[in-house]
Chains A and B, each alone.
Chain A
Amino acid sequence: MSQAAHQAQHVLSGEEIIRCTGVNKWYGEFHVLKNIDLSVQKGERIVVCGPSGSGKSTMIRCLNRLEEHQKGTIVVDGIELTNNLKNIELVRREVGMVFQHFNLFPHLTVLENCTLAPIWVRKKPKAEAEDIAMRYLKRVRIAEQAHKYPGQLSGGQQQRVAIARSLCMSPKVMLFDEPTSALDPEMVKEVLDVMIGLAEDGMTMLCVTHEMGFAKSVADRVIFMDRGEIVEQDTPDSFFTNPKSDRTRLFLSQILNH
């Protein structure tokens, strides 16, 4: 931890954007999240990993209230997530989310996918929203497909559109839930490249991913979850070379040798 803080000092502002305190969640009887404490600073890049079913998705989905937590507090961008719908909508427009299965809107063109929320949520004029959308589509290198429908694109292209769609809302934080695990191997790199570019531009990111190369090269901090707990968090350097808990060691040996 001290190392992480040390490394972070010269990159990060020290301004906190997400704070989870004692967050617990149950699915019926099943205790999915146990006393999660997490603080994320502006500009920080965090990779979350852990075995299947450990609660990674659940945790990051709580951050924009796609899932509801039952105990503890989550404060995002100064707003506490409660049942207050207005607050939830306020948080959601500042937090972009990229899903494993892209979840593009199949009845809208790529461009319309990107302009929908800016027009309806941010109340931007259509022309301005389209300008912004084209800028981000260029950035994910897919501008020439702007007038196609999602169904006409490859998986990697769709995921890049999904990233652009989120960016069009100029979010303060981006959440990624296994953005590359539904992709064919040859398409993983094009998506990771976009994510690396984002990280370099200083976007605050939380990524659930099994791409350890990505974690090593861009993460400020790696969080390891198991059975609903945060077991360990550290800089990638010490996380991969010097894991402290047995569970982490076991997990690393499994994913690195498979």
Chain B
Amino acid sequence: MTDTVKHVGLPDERPPSNIVGPVAWLRNNLFNTWYNAILTVLVLLLLATAVPPFITWLFVTAHGFDATSQECRAGGGACWGFIGEKLRFILFGTFPYDEQWRPLLTIVIFIALLVGSCDRRFWKPWLGLVWAVGLTAVGILMWGGVFGLTPVENTLWGGLPLTLILSVIGLAVAFPAAILLALGRRSNMPAVKVLCVTYIELIRGVPLISLLFMASVMFPLFLPNGVSVDKLLRAQVAFIMFAAAYMAEAIRGGLQAIPKGQYEAADGLGLSYWQKMLKIILPQALAIAIPPLVNTFISFFKDTSLVIIIGLYDLLGAGKVALSDPSWRGFYRESYLFVGVIYWVFCFSMSKYSQKLERDLNRSHRR
């Protein structure tokens, strides 16, 4: 026996198996109360009846991409022959068949620009230049008329490039406009403030469809005779106006969350209004506004399909037109599923990326 009492720490023990492990997880999450247990069983039953037939339809009894419509109509599951036949129409619309490498290249350029811009290391002024070059290339590819490319009227554009042009250019222009609107709405210059509030409230108060209609039907009435503005351009402008108002509200939410002390500290150091906004307030406000902004991006990306009402055929529109071919009528499930998957891939990537961005920004400067 020594004089000092030696404290021996208790050894760490493994937790009992009823609080960790798969069985415990099941019990805690799916069967923790009698009504949750019933719900779990019901959902399992539902899945069991719905999923296997769908899988069968999708893969097992489906016809391959080279199937003819007669083979498909004879019976069986999904008719991927429809996609095989109409793929280029759905993707590129009525763009001249032999020139369809141009919209294909356009899609590639857009995806490269978008993916490249996701990396925060590239968020430098030269990225703007890269975008300018990329978009110019897109314009040249789609319009043609230079470098020996045959000119293509933009009434012939359609499919995925049209969706990407409308949404990406729309968002790229609407974003800075939205920042200005949001700042204007909080400005202490009454005229600026009233102007911004009026604009935002007017645009938010009307459905996008009516804005598109106005752009295509009413807008020409205001123009002098003989002046006509391109239909695609009008739709693009309508989209920009619409998206800017919604994004401005998302950004305003972020601005409101910035404590007054940040403004005071920036003022106290002698920063000018624009320095204060660009260096201090907006970086924080935009980071906070990511979830509602991405929400707007996603719904806006899908809303471009509304251009069908003014006679432009984006991805969804082209999928619909493809169905009007008499020999392929009726394969709407295949058509909409295919188009839906493309939309989903884009929207899901946006969502995933925004979550990553939010995490990264949070990690670096948690309050």
Query: Residue B352 at the A interface, CB < 8 A?
Result: no
Indicate if the CB atoms of B261 and A99 lie closer than 8 Å: yes
The interface on chain B, measured as residues whose beta carbon lies within 8 A of the other chain's beta carbons, has a size of: 23
Indicate if the CB atoms of B264 and A66 lie closer than 8 Å: yes
Query: Residue B267 at the A interface, CB < 8 A?
Result: yes
A95 to B264, CA, bound (A): 13
Question: A106 — nearest CB in chain B belongs to which residue?
Answer: B365
Question: B264 — nearest CB in chain A belongs to which residue?
Answer: A66
Task: Return chain A residues, CB-CB under 8 Å to B361.
Answer: 107
Q: Mark B270-306, 1 if CB is under 8 A from A, else 0.
A: 1110010001100110010000000000000000000
Question: A122 — nearest CB in chain B belongs to which residue?
Answer: B270
Task: Return chain B residues, CB-CB under 8 Å to A95.
Answer: 268
The contact of B284 among A66, A106, A117, by CB within 8 Å, is A106
Question: B262 — nearest CB in chain A belongs to which residue?
Answer: A103
Query: Residue B26 at the A interface, CB < 8 A?
Result: no
Excluding A99-B268, A103-B259, 15 further A-B contacts by CB distance (< 8 Å) are: A64-B268, A89-B270, A90-B270, A99-B264, A106-B366, A107-B284, A116-B269, A117-B270, A121-B275, A149-B364, A149-B366, A151-B365, A162-B265, A165-B269, A169-B270
- Beyond A99-B261, A103-B261, A107-B283, whether A66 also contacts B367 by CB under 8 A is no
Report which residue of B270, B284, B287, B364 has the largest number of chain A beta carbons within 10 angstroms of its beta carbon: B270
Shortest distance from the beta carbon of B283 to any chain A beta carbon, whole Å: 5
Query: Residue A101 at the B interface, CB < 8 A?
Result: yes
Indicate if the CB atoms of B272 and A106 lie closer than 8 Å: no
The contact of B270 among A92, A107, A149, A152, by CB within 8 Å, is A92
Query: Residue A49 at the B interface, CB < 8 A?
Result: no
Report which residue of A95, A117, A166 has the largest number of chain B beta carbons within 10 angstroms of its beta carbon: A117
A89 to B275, CA, bound (A): 12
Question: A86 — nearest CB in chain B belongs to which residue?
Answer: B272
The contact of B267 among A92, A152, A165, by CB within 8 Å, is A92
Shortest distance from the beta carbon of A61 to any chain B beta carbon, whole Å: 8
A172 to B119, CA, bound (A): 43
Residues of B within 8 A of A (CB): 259, 261-262, 264-272, 275, 279-280, 283-284, 287, 361, 364-367
A179 to B238, CA, bound (A): 52
A92 to B269, CA, bound (A): 6
- Beyond A103-B261, A106-B365, A120-B275, whether A93 also contacts B283 by CB under 8 A is no
CB<8 Å pairs between A and B, sample of 23: A64-B268, A89-B272, A92-B268, A92-B269, A92-B270, A93-B269, A97-B265, A97-B268, A99-B268, A105-B262, A106-B284, A106-B366, A106-B367, A107-B284, A117-B270, A117-B271, A120-B275, A121-B271, A121-B275, A151-B367, A165-B269, A166-B268, A166-B269
Question: A152 — nearest CB in chain B belongs to which residue?
Answer: B366
The contact of B365 among A92, A97, A121, A149, by CB within 8 Å, is A149
Question: B287 — nearest CB in chain A belongs to which residue?
Answer: A107
Count of A-B contacts judged by CB separation below 8 Å: 74
Q: Mark A130-164, 1 if CB is under 8 A from B, else 0.
A: 00000000000000000001111000000000100
Shortest distance from the beta carbon of B287 to any chain A beta carbon, whole Å: 7
Shortest distance from the beta carbon of A87 to any chain B beta carbon, whole Å: 11
Indicate if the CB atoms of B264 and A93 lie closer than 8 Å: no
* Chain A residues touching B, majority SS: mixed
A242 to B179, CA, bound (A): 58
Task: Return chain A residues, CB-CB under 8 Å to B366.
Answer: 106, 149, 151-152
A96 to B269, CA, bound (A): 7
Question: A108 — nearest CB in chain B belongs to which residue?
Answer: B365
A117 to B271, CA, bound (A): 7
Question: A101 — nearest CB in chain B belongs to which residue?
Answer: B261
- Give 8 closest A-B pairs by Cβ, nearest first: A93-B270, A103-B265, A103-B261, A117-B269, A92-B270, A97-B268, A107-B365, A121-B270
Q: Mark A43-66, 1 if CB is under 8 A from B, else 0.
A: 000000000000000000000101
Question: B272 — nearest CB in chain A belongs to which residue?
Answer: A89
Shortest distance from the beta carbon of B192 to any chain A beta carbon, whole Å: 16
- Beyond A116-B279, A151-B367, whether A104 also contacts B271 by CB under 8 A is no
Task: Return chain A residues, CB-CB under 8 Å to B267.
Answer: 64, 66, 92
The contact of B269 among A90, A150, A169, by CB within 8 Å, is A169
Task: Return chain B residues, CB-CB under 8 Å to A106.
Answer: 284, 365-367
Task: Return chain A residues, CB-CB under 8 Å to B280.
Answer: 105, 116
A64 to B367, CA, bound (A): 27
Shortest distance from the beta carbon of A26 to any chain B beta carbon, whole Å: 18
A166 to B270, CA, bound (A): 11
Q: Mark A203-218, 1 if CB is under 8 A from B, else 0.
A: 0000000000000000
Report which residue of A120, A150, A166 has the largest number of chain B beta carbons within 10 angstroms of its beta carbon: A120
- Beyond A103-B262, A107-B284, whether A66 also contacts B268 by CB under 8 A is yes
Task: Return chain B residues, CB-CB under 8 Å to A66.
Answer: 264, 267-268
Question: B284 — nearest CB in chain A belongs to which residue?
Answer: A107
Task: Return chain B residues, CB-CB under 8 Å to A103.
Answer: 259, 261-262, 264-265
Shortest distance from the beta carbon of A62 to any chain B beta carbon, whole Å: 13
Indicate if the CB atoms of B365 and A104 lie closer than 8 Å: no
Question: A97 — nearest CB in chain B belongs to which residue?
Answer: B268
Q: Mark A104-127, 1 if CB is under 8 A from B, else 0.
A: 111110000000110011000000
A44 to B261, CA, bound (A): 27
Question: B268 — nearest CB in chain A belongs to which residue?
Answer: A97
Task: Return chain A residues, CB-CB under 8 Å to B266.
Answer: 105
Shortest distance from the beta carbon of A97 to any chain B beta carbon, whole Å: 4
A166 to B266, CA, bound (A): 11
- Beyond A106-B367, A151-B367, whether A121 also contacts B265 by CB under 8 A is no
Report which residue of B265, B269, B361 has the largest number of chain A beta carbons within 10 angstroms of its beta carbon: B269
Task: Return chain A residues, CB-CB under 8 Å to B261.
Answer: 99, 101, 103
